[in-house]
Amino acid sequence: MRKLLLFSLVLLFIACKEETKKQTEVAELQPAPKISVEDFFKNSEKTSYRLSPNGEYLAYLAPFKDRMNIHVQKIGSEEVTRVTGVEDRDLSGYFWASDDRLVYIRDKGGNENFHLFAVNKDGTNEKDLTPFDGVRSQIIDALEDNEEEMIIGLNKRIPQVFDPYRLNINTGELTLLYENPGNITDWNTDHDGKLRLASMTNGVDNTILYRSSEDEPFKEVITTDFKQTLSPQFFDFDNGDIVYAVSNLGRDKAAVVKYNLKENKEVEEIFMDTEVDVDGISYSSKRKVPTFINYTRAKLNRKFLDKEAEALFKMFEEKLGADNEYYITSSNKNEDKFLVYAGNDKTRGSYYFYDAATKNITHLADLSPWINSEHMATMKPISYTSRDGLTIHGYLTLPVGVKAENLPVVVNPHGGPWARDNWGFNPEVQFLANRGFAVLQMNFRGSTGYGKKFWESSFKKWGQEMQNDITDGVQWLINEGIADKDRIAIYGGSYGGYATLAGITNTPDLYAAAVDYVGVSNLFTFMETIPPYWEPYKKMLYEMVGDPTTKDSIMMKQNSPVFHVDKIKAALFVAQGANDPRVVQAESDQMVEALRNNGVTVEYMLKENEGHGFRNQENRFDFYNSMIEFLNKNMQTKVKG
């Protein structure tokens, strides 16, 4: 009897355990509640925090009349001063130029002719420092130790080239430091703000120019073709002849090295990863030491060169959680107060204030406090093999609470194309996952960070092997049983928009719907309408994309979607900014016209006050609401058909 009772209890325990497991599985398969477009894409309440040089004030961007403007707050005080009142367009960026004055950047309607403005921290004495029509400003050196000046680049003398100027942030007075002969594309200063390095190009070959002091002429150090990289990051701390640089000379993966400019030789390799390029190296201005090197595999990694920096990031992980990626976004001159960003794939992130004297970490703001991270999807690193044997890395995001079987999919190739997707919170991806779509992102050949050979394998391969990498990713998802082959869409912006159009012309039966966002449709007109300041790189673009003046023209026509609209079967939605200087409106106009002339219905959204991507939030709301309505309608139509 006792054995029978024990056996019954065991059976009861197993039954209870199985029931609990079933309940857990059911709970895990509960889809996330639907979150509004506005919650995914509206401006943050507070973002882009910056610490004043003396560490006494915080500045941040916050909405004013739905536009992101600068606000300033004394640390320890509740009083906030709105410093700017821009109403037409969000500011593009800003920084503290001194303890009392801030500099901000803005353009007009997305034309990317950025002006620099300065304003006092109480909102007074606002001044356009670069009041020149059709001129673009660049920041060469903010001159942290000089409260009145900074060094900028302007293309006001010749639209194709930038001259370096010393700029007074109070008066706007400009002093020309060097007249660009027409082929210099970059300038670098030493730790004292002296202009001592320049990069020169003939379109395909790059030359580093160097001088020991501003009293001496520039001399050539080394010339390489554009596939070889020697990119100085900063001078050694004695301001001598040695720089820290990112280099792939003699290697496939870019490394951080020390390079002697006077002797034209690498003197030390500091760090190289075996799988990916380094992203860059950071240093402490106060302690005059390199601190860490960033490199990105599936996620961000750091090689620490300094015990103090390593301890700081370890403390962040211990106090704020190891599942985040951390960045120090700002510090005071004494480097005893820091602003820290923490974020991951399920949250847009948060800002914290760290005081080294008290060891206290104070929470400042969540970028999207209205989004519950528990309702967000996991961005999972994945890889697959292309048809010609390359390993393609990427990310797969599956909707929450839904079985990963026969799902509708949005394939999302990145822009660039010489860029890459990274792990982290992506509002577009999370929005699509929240609506029930699996989202596939892939770093197709040509994506940066995977070495020289992988990058070069994309040259003159737009619409060809680059597109095959995308197609192979879709086929991988189908073979895995994750994708419903009848409910696959493709969506991308810029080059991703081109890949979208190439996808529905190259493989018309693969996609049910497509969304082209500021994408290239015609390789010929794209090359003809590049901004004037891209002109020095035109020969390089000919090597990387194709030369329309040679036999490449045949290849370029074959791979320009506008000439193959007769092949399109998928429904298409096109979105474009009228002021886009990179992918001009004509790229979308001609694609839409060709389709309509072919009797195909295409949805077209044109925003007159936007450029290369929609910055104003009401335009974002309009775009994403229209996009999801379009996808839902056309994915269902394909299935029913």
**225 pLDDT above the threshold of 50:** yes
Least Cα distance to 467 among 575, 583, 387, 542 occurs for 387
Which CATH architecture best describes the domain 379-640? 3-Layer(aba) Sandwich (3.40)
The 10s digit of each residue's pLDDT in 481-533 is 999 999 999 999 999 999 999 999 999 999 999 999 999 999 999 999 888 88
pLDDT of residue 10: 40
Helix, strand or coil, per DSSP, at residue 571: strand
Q: Can you give the pLDDT at residue 314?
A: 97
Residue labelled with tokens 């107060």: 337
> What per-residue confidence (pLDDT) applies to 62?
97
Q: Angle formed by the axes of helices 427-434 and 617-640, to 10°?
A: 40
**Which pTM does this prediction carry?**
0.92
Q: How confident is the model at residue 599 (pLDDT cuts 50, 70, 90)?
A: confident
> Which CATH number applies to 47-182: 2.40.30.10, 3.90.1010.10, 3.90.480.20, 2.120.10.30?
2.120.10.30
Rounded distance between C-alpha atoms, residue 160 and residue 172, angstroms: 23
Residue-level pLDDT at 197: 97
Give the residues across from 196 on adjacent strands: none
Neighbours of 507 (CB within 10 A): 19
Q: Are 202 and 539 in contact (CB under 8 A)?
A: yes
| Residue 151 vs residues 119, 181, 261: alpha-carbon distances, Å | 17, 18, 23
Distances (CA, A) of 17 to 269, 367, 429, 567, 634: 57, 41, 36, 56, 44
Distance CA 209, CA 232 (A): 11
Per the CB < 8 A criterion, the answer to whether 446 and 417 are in contact is: yes
pLDDT for residue 28:
57
Q: Is the Cβ–Cβ distance between 196 and 213 less than 8 Å?
A: yes
* Residue 2: pLDDT band with limits 50, 70, 90: very low
Q: Report the b/e string of 584-596 with b at 16+ CB within 10 A.
A: bbbbbebbbebbe
Distances, alpha carbon 320 to alpha carbons 6, 422, 589, in Å: 47, 21, 49
DSSP letter, residue 453: H
- Mean pLDDT within 234-253: 98
Q: What is the reported pLDDT for 300?
A: 98
**Cα atoms in the 13 Å half-sphere on the side-chain side of 616:** 19
Report how far residue 614's alpha carbon sits from residue 603's, in angstroms, rounded to the nearest whole number.
17
SS3 annotation, 129-170: CCCCCCCCEEEEECCCCCCCEEEEEEEEEECCEEEEEEEECC
The pLDDT value recorded for residue 565 is: 95
The tokens for 200 are 């020169």
Residue 26 has pLDDT above 80, yes or no: no
Q: CA-CA distance, 251 to 203, in Å (whole number)?
A: 23
pLDDT digits (tens, 9 = 90+) for 293-319: 999 999 999 999 999 999 999 999 999
> What is d(CA 173, CA 166) in angstroms, rounded to the nearest whole number?
8
56-87 pLDDT, tens digit each: 999 999 999 999 999 999 999 999 999 999 99
Q: What is the mean pLDDT of residues 340-368?
A: 97
Q: What share of the chain is helix, strand, coil (3-state, %, to 5)?
A: 25, 35, 40
> CA–CA separation, 354 vs 352, rounded Å?
6
40-57 residue pLDDT tens = 999 999 999 999 999 999
Please report, rounded to a whole number, the percentage of residues in the chain having pLDDT higher than 70: 95
| Strand-pair partners of 463 | none
Q: What pLDDT sits at residue 18? A: 53
d(CA 604, CA 596): 11
Strands (E), 54-114: 57-64, 67-74, 80-82, 93-96, 101-106
Q: How confident is the model at residue 12 (pLDDT cuts 50, 70, 90)?
A: very low
pLDDT at 530: 82
What is the average pLDDT score of the chain? 93
Q: Count of CB atoms within 10 A of residue 85's CB?
A: 12
Residue 220: beta bridge partners? 209
C-beta separation of 500 from 516 below 8 A = yes
Kindly state the helix (H) or strand (E) to which residue 636 belongs, with its residue range: helix 617-640
Model pLDDT for residues 108-129, shown as the tens digit of each residue: 988 899 999 999 999 999 999 9
Q: What pLDDT is recorded for position 533?
A: 83
**In angstroms, rounded to a whole number, what is the distance separating the alpha carbons of residues 425 and 412?**
15
Report how far residue 332's alpha carbon sits from residue 96's, in angstroms, rounded to the nearest whole number: 10
- What the block records as the tokens of 51 is 């610490």
Mean pLDDT over 623-636 rounds to 94
Backbone phi, psi, residue 323, to 5°: -85, 5
- Burial level of 323, CB count in 10 A (0-12/13-18/19+)? exposed
The lowest-confidence range among 10-14, 357-361, 603-607 is 10-14
Q: What does the pLDDT read at residue 447?
A: 98
Cα separation, 126 vs 511, in Å, equals: 52
- Residue among 256, 226, 219 nearest 241 (CA): 219
Strands (E), 333-413: 337-344, 347-355, 360-366, 379-385, 391-397, 407-411
pLDDT tens by residue, 550-569: 999 999 999 999 999 999 99
